[in-house]
């Protein structure tokens, strides 16, 4: 049975060449994928995806593999940059294709349903095919109730010489608002309405101030939602998708917390196997990793007995747990249990 699966046919040639180069490096090193995972800090599942062309390996994983296999980092990252650009182009083409499909589906749905509920304001035949309120061209009849069009100046309420006089209304008609109210009365009504609204706002502010008694400005500022949201939202590096509580239960590789952003903070031996606490300062989260173990062995991590996450060793002889959030001043603990003996070993919490 061949070691490697066939790469997907739809891969870009540069991405395919890069994946084949990674495979050759692993073959020459004589390392298993589990060993590559252990030495580079990226999970076995992730390396399987990288080497089978399912996702493009991140630059950190490529640099780590170059160091493990004694390969020139510069040459390998150059190939990675070419593959990364090709991968991005493929994603853009896919996005455009999906957008065109959605647009075609939307147009087809609208075409099937017909012009139900179409507003005359966007060019209804009942309104002369012209948006309501649009200026009438010279030489054409104006809509009922409007004076004839006399050019741009007339449409702005001024005569050709900018005299400041409005065009006179047709004989026998009073100039009024849309509901027949004379403009002067309407303006007075609008003014009075504005004054009443302003007084209501001022009265409400005074009332709220009096009800609250003497204000504690420090507490009010700290409780402002916009400021609290700004201060609590961390700025994450590109590729990192969570921080703190949002990381609990998530895969560290998928969320971008592993690799260069993680380090081992505690270890313990359980027979030939090793259990580690892997911590990411960027993500404010930790997970447990168990290597060189036996199928059926289990590993878990918790912080002060809370947020417990578990992992199970399969035929690959290693496993890692989902992440759990780590608050400031606390330290996670990882434990492993051997299936055959029932022996449990944990890392020490300082």
Q: Residue 287: beta bridge partners?
A: 278
Is it the case that residue 258 has pLDDT exceeding 60? yes
- How far is the CA of 228 from the CAs of 213, 217, 219, 225, 232, in angstroms? 24, 15, 12, 5, 6
- Segment 18-62, tens digit of pLDDT: 999 999 999 999 999 999 999 999 999 999 999 988 889 999 999
Q: Between 321 and 222, whose confidence is greater?
A: 321
| Top-ranked range on mean pLDDT: pick from 112-116, 207-211, 231-235, 241-245 | 241-245
Is it the case that residue 336 has pLDDT exceeding 90? yes
| pLDDT of 159 | 42
Superfamily of the domain at 13-91: lambda repressor-like DNA-binding domains (1.10.260.40)
Domain locations in the chain as residue ranges:
13-91, 244-346
- Segment 212-237, tens digit of pLDDT: 444 444 444 334 444 444 445 678 98
- How far is the CA of 7 from the CAs of 17, 18, 19, 48, 69, in angstroms? 10, 11, 8, 12, 22
DSSP per-residue codes, 218-273:
HHHHHT-HHHHHHHHS--PPTT----GGGGTTS-TTTTT-SGGG-EEEEEEEETTE
- Segment 153-186, tens digit of pLDDT: 333 344 444 444 444 444 444 444 445 555 555 5
C-beta of residue 333 within 8 angstroms of C-beta of residue 305: no
CA distance 126 to 241: 54
Average pLDDT, whole number, for the chain? 74
Q: Between 71 and 119, whose confidence is greater?
A: 71
- How far is the CA of 289 from the CAs of 47, 130, 256, 294, in angstroms? 15, 69, 16, 13
DSSP per-residue codes, 184-210:
HHHHHHHHHHHHHHHHHHHHHHHHHHH
pTM for the model stands at 0.40
């Amino acid at each position: 049975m061949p070691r490697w699966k066939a790469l997907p046919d739809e891969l870009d040639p540069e991405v395919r060449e890069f994946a084949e180069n990674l495979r050759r490096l692993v073959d020459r090193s004589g390392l298993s994928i589990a060993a590559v995972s252990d030495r580079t800090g990226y999970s076995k599942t992730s390396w399987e995806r990288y080497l089978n062309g399912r996702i493009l390996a991140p630059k950190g994983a490529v640099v780590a593999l170059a160091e493990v296999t004694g390969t020139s980092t510069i040459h390998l990252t150059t190939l990675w940059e070419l593959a990364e650009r090709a991968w991005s182009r493929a994603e853009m083409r896919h996005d455009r294709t999906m957008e065109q499909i959605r647009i075609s589906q939307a147009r087809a749905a609208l075409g099937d349903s017909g012009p139900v509920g179409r507003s005359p304001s966007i060019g209804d035949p009942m309104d002369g095919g012209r948006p309501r309120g649009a200026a009438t061209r010279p030489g054409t009849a104006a809509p009922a109730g409007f004076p004839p069009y006399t050019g741009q100046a007339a449409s702005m309420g001024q005569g050709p010489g900018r005299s400041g006089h409005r065009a006179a209304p047709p004989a026998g008609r009073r100039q009024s608002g849309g509901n027949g109210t004379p403009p002067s009365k309407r303006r007075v009504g609008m003014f009075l309405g504005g004054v009443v609204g302003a007084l209501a706002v001022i009265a409400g502010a005074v009332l709220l101030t009096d009800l609250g008694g003497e204000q504690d400005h420090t507490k009010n500022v700290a409780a402002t939602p916009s400021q609290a949201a700004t201060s609590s939202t961390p700025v994450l590096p590109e590729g990192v998708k969570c921080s703190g509580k949002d990381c609990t239960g998530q895969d560290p590789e998928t969320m971008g917390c592993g690799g260069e952003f993680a380090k081992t903070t505690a270890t313990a031996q359980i027979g030939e196997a090793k259990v580690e606490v892997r911590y990411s300062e960027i993500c404010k989260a930790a997970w447990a990793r168990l290597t060189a173990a036996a199928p059926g062995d289990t590993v878990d991590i918790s912080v002060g007995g809370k947020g417990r996450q578990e992992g199970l060793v399969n035929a690959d002889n290693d496993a890692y747990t989902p992440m759990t959030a780590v608050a400031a001043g606390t330290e996670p603990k990882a434990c492993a249990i051997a299936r055959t003996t029932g022996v449990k070993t944990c890392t020490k919490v300082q």
